[in-house]
Amino acid sequence: MKFGLLLWAALPLAAQLQVFTVQDTALVPVAASFNLGTVSVRDSAEYRFRAVNTGTAPLPLQTVAVGGSGFALTLPFVPLTLAPAQSYDFSVRFTPASEGSYSATLTVNSFSSFLRVSAIPGPVLYLDNGDGLTEISVASLRVNVALGTTLTVPLVAANPYTAPLLLPEISLSGNGFTFSAPPPGGATTLEPGQRIPLPVRIAAPAAEGEVVGVVTVGPRRLILIASIFRQPLPVPRIVLNNAAPQNSQQLRIRLQLAEPAIAPGSGTLRAVFTGAQTDPAIVFPDGSREVKFNFAPGNTEATFDGAPEAILQTGTTAGTLRLEAVTDSGTNTETVRFDPRPVVIEEAVARRNGSTLEIDLTGFDNTRGVGSLNFRFFDRSGSAIGGVISAAPAEQFKNYFDQSAVGGVFRLRAAFPVTGDATIVGSVLIEVANSIGRTDVPRLNFP
Amino acid sequence: MTARLFLIFSAVLSAQPALDAPPIARVLDREGALTPIHGLAGNFIPGEPGPALLAYSNDGVIEWRLEPGRLTATQAGQTAVFSTTATRAVFRGDSAVLPESNESLRLVGDSLLNSSDEPTTQLAGRLIEWRDGKLHIFQADGSEEIIACLHEPEAMTAAAAHWAHLTIGGQAHLLRLTAGRVELFVLPHRSRQ
């Protein structure tokens, strides 16, 4: 008679409302009496349902409820209207207090179903904290795992009863989920009070997202949901190979972390130069002012396209060079000042070309303001010949630097036609000055 | 004696420009374009790329160029030409080796002649060897200078009288060969600033 009433109650809705359980991806129609199976005591099971408007008119959904000891909707229901073919998903959680048979009535509008489930003895699951055990009283456990790392969930199963507990299977499913130590194979009997460790190792996949594993210990199931997140790379320290970098150098730059990188990480090393003039020589090897760096898990040293250091030319212009190591966590900077300084002569050559004395000076002026150039010639015995020959090449240098695309670098070629016996000239002293000071070129001997 | 000597400072009047960007070397860039390198040691500035070549070498005495269809060697303003379909060449001193045809050529006067002589191993007048993570540079006077170079160079050519162009781990380098000042530098690509 009761069965007939339930059937009668479902009939008016049959044309427009149908209720299913969602089992994996399959939909199974819910009958007036529906067996949900077995659940381990201390476990909690969730059953997913779907109410579908199979009619051609809108369907007000006014009631979704479940009544019965240990049963509850996972979320409160709020009335809504389903358009034709539209569906509404909801879940029922069942948590048995003890062994036995349980039932509840599921009501969806005027449809109702008699739900049945059995609670059977099952193991207690714990998390081993190292200094104690914490019971797991939920059906699913959520953990966070950094990309590129592994996490071990220290699971322990125990028999809380005074009688032996038979576990038909102990298994684990899910991509990336493994037992750290193999569990007992086949059916296992836990003696009263016995505990077995079942540590689950979760290896994070290569991409962010979520992975799910299911631990089955006899009738008990535990769903492990691992959120894979990208651990922000800490900002590395900038280490220079030179405590007092100068212009016209190749600076070697390393990036170091205080602690080994947990996961692979990358960032950008930038060189920002501020000076009175630009300088195209200030570049990394690829010709740019920024370069990517990477940290491999477990490493404290960055690599630059596989190399342990980045090389940066420092140019030949006075100014401030700011190095910025940028990661998702922030920016670390290191500032290097190139103070204005007297002209630097890198190479000086004196030679004879017939009766002409030729002098080549190669160097740089980081102020780009050479103001004077003095030559003093000496005979082979070291006595001065005549006075100082001065040139005021400021305008010439200015024109050169204005048109040059090589920073403060220059090559000056001076030719001195000699009237008389040029072979008596043995050497020359040269002074070059800019606004900062004077540079004395070491004595040049004519061959 | 000194009273009869007159020096006239004539930098401005010189036939050559008195001031210019110091030239260092000429190399083939990663696209194979002949590129002048200006600046100072460790402060290199690649200039405008020139013609694309298959191989190039310049030790300050002989400039070798391999381009599609011909090999040329220029010395003291005179250019010798040799027709070839070679796409690779190794230059050492006055000799060129074309590995694909196993030919060896020597510059004699203004001609490139087939040669059975073993080509000199010298590069820009020096013998350069890599072993045990170091470059050994034997200068013309026989003195040896050693610098660290972790990986063996994949390629080595003369780039100027005192410079060699090396490729190490895919990265261009310039090796200064000047006696007593031997040093290895990274050669940046042309600036993208």
Reported confidence tier of residue A7, pLDDT bands at 50, 70, 90: very low
Contacts of A11 (CB under 8 A, 6+ apart): none
Phi then psi for residue B96, to 5 deg, are -130, 135
Measure the CA–CA gap between A295 and A256, rounded to whole angstroms: 9
Per-residue pLDDT tens digits for B59-100 = 999 999 999 999 999 999 999 999 999 999 999 999 999 999
Helix boundaries (H) for A203-306 = none
Measure the CA–CA gap between A422 and A415, rounded to whole angstroms: 13
Per-residue pLDDT tens digits for A281-322 = 999 999 999 999 999 988 999 999 999 999 999 999 999 999
State the pLDDT at residue B107. 95
Distance of CA A437 to the CA centre of its chain: 50
State the pLDDT at residue A205. 83
Nearest to B186 among A278, A285, A411 (CB): A285
Measure the CA–CA gap between A337 and A349, rounded to whole angstroms: 31
How far CA A415 is from CA of A188, A354, A378, B9, in Å, comes to 100, 11, 16, 7
Per-residue pLDDT tens digits for A347-363 = 999 999 988 899 999 99
Backbone conformation region of residue A262, classed left if phi is above 0, alpha if psi is from -120 to 50, else beta: alpha
Reported confidence tier of residue A394, pLDDT bands at 50, 70, 90: confident
Residue A37 at interface with chain B, using a CB cutoff of 8 Å: no
Between residues B18 and B58, the one the model is more confident about: B58
Distance from CA of B183 to the nearest CA of A (A): 12
3-class secondary structure, A395: helix
A66 forms beta bridges with A106
CB contact under 8 A, B11 and A247: no
Mean pLDDT of all residues belonging to chain A: 91
H or E stretch at A7: helix A2-14
State the pLDDT at residue B82. 96
All residues of chain B having their beta carbon less than 8 Å from the beta carbon of residue A405 are 21, 45
H or E stretch at A400: helix A394-403
State the pLDDT at residue B6. 53
Nearest to B2 among A316, A385, A397 (CB): A385
DSSP one-letter code for B22: P
Answer yes or no: is pLDDT of A24 > 80: no
Residue B131 at interface with chain A, using a CB cutoff of 8 Å: no
Between residues B102 and A420, the one the model is more confident about: B102
Averaged pLDDT, A236-259: 96
Residue A87 at interface with chain B, using a CB cutoff of 8 Å: no
Averaged pLDDT, A57-73: 95
Nearest to B45 among A386, A389, A406 (CB): A406
Averaged pLDDT, B28-36: 95
Could you list the beta-strand ranges (E) of chain B. Answer: 6-7, 19-20, 23-28, 34-40, 43-46, 55-58, 62-67, 70-75, 78-83, 90-92, 95-98, 103-108, 111-114, 127-131, 134-138, 144-148, 155-160, 163-168, 171-176, 183-186
Q: For residue B33, which of B16, B20, B52 has the smallest C-alpha distance?
A: B52
Q: For residue B125, which of B58, B74, B73 has the smallest C-alpha distance?
A: B58
State the pLDDT at residue A8. 38
State the pLDDT at residue A5. 38
Contacts of A266 (CB under 8 A, 6+ apart): A233, A292, A293, A294, A295, A327
What are the strands of the beta sheet with B171-176, ordered from one edge?
B155-160, B163-168, B171-176, B183-186
State the pLDDT at residue A284. 97
